[in-house]
Amino acid sequence: MKVALVTGVAGGIGFATAELLLENGIAVVGMDVLPQMPKELEGEFTYFQGDLSNKEARENYVKTAMDKYGKIDILVNVAGVAPKVRADILEMTEESYDFVMNINTKGTLFLTQAVANIMKENNSGSIVNISSMSGYTSSTSRGEYCISKAGVTMITTLFADRLAEYGIMVNEIRPGIIATGMTDKVKAKYDALIDGGLLPIKRWGEPSDIANAVWTLCNGSLPYVTGQSIDVDGGFHIRRL
């Protein structure tokens, strides 16, 4: 049985990803900062509560999976946060920068490093990072988030380069506007933008749209693809005249 780690598993995209992996017979060890899962998942699922930005929590998370299964085949880095308060880049605080970067970028980086060193022993593995359209799109009221996601893209590039010799593929999904807890608060804004023609595909993305793309990247069907970013965004990235 293949074993996957999925962070942010209690959230919209993490939950949908874990659900799909479990449906496909993968054992999932999920991590989230929330005390418990919002809904039950069916299948070989283990929940680990911890803060991705905390070194000890990351170590205990990996240890939990290794103690139970002795290997890790797949890592899906989903956990991420938006700034608690949207503030103009001219007013952004260091506290907010540290909060967002420590989870989205530093946490993702060092969890990936820990798992990569385990996968390397087996000469196989697949890592999928969830970055964002915000990694290349300016939102001046949440600059720290944009910077954190641009950093995730470079994490993808660096580990793809470094781990190819061990047969470990590292790719990423760049979600567009996806209906989850993260976008709840700005629903009216995005409804209006989508109605106004922002996206060639005129609808919100669903967590399952992202989960399906993650599965495609980690199910072994693309063994010659690494360091790739896939925009799952309804065509948002297309420049239009």
Cα distance between residue 67 and residue 77, in whole Å: 20
Determine how many CB atoms are found less than 10 A away from the CB of residue 238: 10
Residue with tokens 């950093």: 151
Tell me which residue has its CB nearest to ligand NAD.
11
Site string for ligand NAD, 62-81 (x = CB under 6 A): ----------------xxxx
When binding is defined by CB under 6 A, the residue of 32, 73, 172, 209 that contacts ligand NAD is 32
**Whether residue 145 lies in the annotated active site:** yes
* Cα→Cα distances 233→6, 147, 198, Å: 21, 19, 11
- CA 209 to chain CA centroid, Å, is 13
Residue 164 or 186: which CB sits closer to ligand NAD? Answer: 186
Instruction: Give, as ranges, the residues between 155 and 214 that touch ligand NAD (CB under 6 A).
Output: 175, 177-178, 180-183
Question: Could you give the CA distance from residue 191 to residue 189 in angstroms, rounded to a whole number?
Answer: 6
Q: How far is CA 189 from CA 138, 176, 192, in A?
A: 16, 14, 5
Phi, psi of 229 (to 5 degrees): -115, 130
Q: Does 12 bind ligand NAD (CB under 6 A)?
A: yes
Of 3, 11, 18, 116, the one binding ligand NAD by CB under 6 A = 11
Q: How far is the CB of 236 from ligand NAD (least distance, A)?
A: 10
Q: Among residues 2 and 48, whose Cβ is nearest to ligand NAD?
A: 48
With CA atoms as reference, report the closest residue to 2 among 31, 30, 26. 26
Task: Tell me which of 145, 166, 190, 224 is the catalytic residue.
Answer: 145
User: Between 33 and 109, whose beta carbon lies closer to ligand NAD?
Assistant: 33
CA dist., res. 54 & res. 50, Å (int): 8
Residues within the interface to ligand NAD (CB under 6 A): 7-8, 10-14, 31-34, 51-53, 78-81, 103, 130, 132, 175, 177-178, 180-183
Residues with catalytic function = 145
